[in-house]
Chains A and B, each alone.
Chain A
Amino acid sequence: MKTIRLLFAFALLGILAAPLHAAPKKKAGLNLFCWSEYVPQEVIDGFTKETGIKVNVENYASNEEMLAKLLAGGAKYDLIQPSEYTIEALAKADKLEELNLANIPNIKNLAPEFTKMPHDPDGKYSVPWMAGSVGIVVNTAKVKTPVKGYKDVFDGSHKKRIVVLNDNREIVSWALSFLDHSVNDITPETLEKVKPVLKEWLPQVKVYDSDSPKTALLNGDVDLGIVWSGEAAILFKKNKKFQYVLPSEHAHRFIDSLAIPKGAANKENAEKFINYILKPEVSVKISEAFPYTNPNAEARKLLSKAQLENPASYPPGDPKLETFNDIGKLAKDIDKLVTDLKGK
């Protein structure tokens, strides 16, 4: 009895302590593999209601996690949501299906600057979902000096009051911008130049967080952040003291898109879904839930004035924005550089 009780206790502990991962289902319909917190349930329900196609959703938290699962498991997914540099890498390795644009007439709603972008020059493989940038959030109640760029964030007066994304490529790209290099100018030589800059910067950071950098800002643990624009837009909506600034040096723009992995079983359903989310009235719902930059010109006409004036969603002026290229094996050198600096 005693042993049984103890075993039971352990079993209970084990079951409850271990997060359970559901295995991906292999059903007809549409197997959507997308970012967590990015596709509103309302949109999925609306799609099923209109077309009768059942959608199975599985989430990931980074492009790299998506790649790892996609490449390990063959073609279980019908539709994925990679960012620009991941699309480039997947297309290079012949892992994406070409889209049949005849099935996606609503593609005409996209703003012209969001078509035929460098990562997919012919627009063959991907359709943009939302775009965003990485910039600086300033708690203006605490920071009174003007913050315009990375050099102001790391000028030494905000020591241990800074949250940044826990993403090594991002961190390196800020230092590259600071040195007036392109964010894609990643070579052993430029990394050598980046090193002393980051050596100065990283000890000033209080928190590294990619999932929810807004938490540390909201809780008052830090006054400044270098974060995703969507996080900044949510902060701004909560309290106007959180101002979003695109760094004067350069800023990284990311374009999250929909694409169909090679060998997808339900390619036509995936194209129907892409066509569905390109409808202005559907696209607006996505903007409401996740206030990133909507690439859909027709949908933007339906947005409210407050939404369009949120500087984190639609930065005013003509900021210097750059997208990431695929860097292949150099990801390893970046990881080594940042780990070395953080570890010591």
Chain B
Amino acid sequence: MIATTPVASEAPSNQRRPGFLGWLLMAPMLLWLVAFVVVPTAILFVYSFCQRDELGQVVYQFSWENYRRIFIDSDTGQFGTVYWTISLRSVIYAALTTGVCLLFGYPVAWFIGRAPERRRNLLLTLVMIPFWTSFLVRTYAWITILSTEGLLNSFLQYTHLISEPFEMLYTPGAVVLGLIYNYLPFLILPVYGSVEKLDNTLIEASFDLGAGPLRTFQRVILPLTWPGIVAGILLVFIPAIGMFGITQLMGGGIQPTIGEVIQNQFLQARDAPFGAALGMTLVVLFIVVFWFTSRRQRIA
């Protein structure tokens, strides 16, 4: 380490190619990526062109059948299937979730990032405390709150705000609420990261030059925190599309989401190849979303 330090100070680090030590430091990350991203994706890719046997084991026999089932309706022979409707519904849920998370998460992240340094740790811990309980326990807590004879309805009836309990649980609204609750921290944290780095003098300069608060936000703060916002959007939107636990528990599974359908393929239907094909299609969709947002980022 001591030997490399002077070298590093001689040349600008971004122009240097990583040396042996650099690769060594990268190795765990690369191994992680290969073992848990590249290999599983490759397996899914191969499975998606296979078939299943009687017991649900994968038979390695090339076929387009799984992709045909996703894109072409077998009854009418037309382009467009129920999986599109289901995917669209999942995307709408995820988009709503991301929008609301951004609306509530950005001010929170701003507040934490601008708080006195010694208080930031405490505030960040507060954001994460709910995650110290298991996901299932938290979701069941929501079920207890929202059910017909649950805490919220009992409270509203007790205070005579409503006379009849109204149905909150097992509705699309409950699904989005559950998603927001679970993914909000994933938006707050990256935005917080970019808010914290924000140079106060730039904001002061903007005010000094005559810009109002709105203009300063638009022209200075928003562009500077944009990377955090993009990271937050990706961290919320993409997992929210594939989520199946919340939609099943809080939505009652009435209108399945694409995550539920994929999960069903691997368990109930024992049709891993079809599940893999659905998964691969989603991966392609994610890549498109990622490409789109990173292009927007460059323009901004």
B56's contact among A64, A163, A166, A208, by CB below 8 Å, is which? A64
B54 touches A329 (CB 8 A): yes
Proximity bits, B267-279, A CB within 8 Å = 1, else 0:
1111110100000
Q: Which residues from 177 to 230 on chain B have a C-beta closer than 8 Å to any C-beta of chain A?
A: 185-186, 189, 192-193, 196-197
B135 at the binding interface (Cβ < 8 Å): yes
State which of B22-30, B254-262, B285-293 sits at the interface with chain A: B254-262
A343 touches B269 (CB 8 A): no
B268's contact among A62, A95, A209, by CB below 8 Å, is which? A62
B192 touches A6 (CB 8 A): yes
B193 touches A6 (CB 8 A): yes
B54 touches A208 (CB 8 A): no
Given A13-B131, A332-B271, does the pair A206, B143 have CB atoms closer than 8 Å?
no
A200 at the binding interface (Cβ < 8 Å): no
B82 touches A208 (CB 8 A): no
Residues from chain B with Cβ under 8 Å of A2 in the complex: 193, 196-197
A64 touches B254 (CB 8 A): no
Given A13-B128, A92-B54, does the pair A343, B86 have CB atoms closer than 8 Å?
yes
B252 touches A168 (CB 8 A): no
B264 at the binding interface (Cβ < 8 Å): yes
Residues from chain A with Cβ under 8 Å of B120 in the complex: 5
Interface residues on A, range: 35 or more
B55 touches A93 (CB 8 A): yes
B135's contact among A19, A93, A221, A328, by CB below 8 Å, is which? A19
Complexed CA–CA distance, A90 and B128 (Å): 45
Q: For residue A326, which residue of chain B has the nearest CB?
A: B54
Complexed CA–CA distance, A237 and B45 (Å): 50
Chain A at the B interface: SS class: helix
A343 touches B254 (CB 8 A): no
Complexed CA–CA distance, A326 and B54 (Å): 9
State which of B12-20, B92-100, B144-152 sits at the interface with chain A: B144-152
Residues from chain B with Cβ under 8 Å of A64 in the complex: 56, 267-270
Interface residues on B, range: 35 or more
B41 at the binding interface (Cβ < 8 Å): no
Residues from chain A with Cβ under 8 Å of B255 in the complex: 342-343
A206 touches B252 (CB 8 A): yes
Complexed CA–CA distance, A335 and B83 (Å): 12
Complexed CA–CA distance, A195 and B246 (Å): 28
Q: For residue B143, which residue of chain A has the nearest CB?
A: A215
Chain A: minimal CB distance from B246 (Å): 13
Residues from chain A with Cβ under 8 Å of B197 in the complex: 2
Complexed CA–CA distance, A39 and B170 (Å): 31
A67 at the binding interface (Cβ < 8 Å): yes
Chain B: minimal CB distance from A115 (Å): 26
Residue from B193, B256, B270 having most chain A Cβ neighbours under 10 A: B270
B269 touches A71 (CB 8 A): no
B82 touches A343 (CB 8 A): yes
Q: For residue B196, which residue of chain A has the nearest CB?
A: A2
A16 touches B124 (CB 8 A): no
Q: Which residues of B contact A (CB under 8 A)?
A: 52-57, 69, 82-83, 85-86, 120-121, 124, 128, 131-132, 134-135, 143-144, 147-150, 165, 167, 169-170, 185-186, 189, 192-193, 196-197, 248, 252-256, 261, 264-272, 274
- For the complex of A and B, 5 pairs with smallest distance between CB atoms: A208-B253, A219-B147, A207-B252, A335-B269, A220-B149
Starting from the known contacts A64-B267, A209-B248, 4 additional A-B residue pairs (CB-CB under 8 Å) come to A12-B128, A216-B170, A221-B147, A326-B54
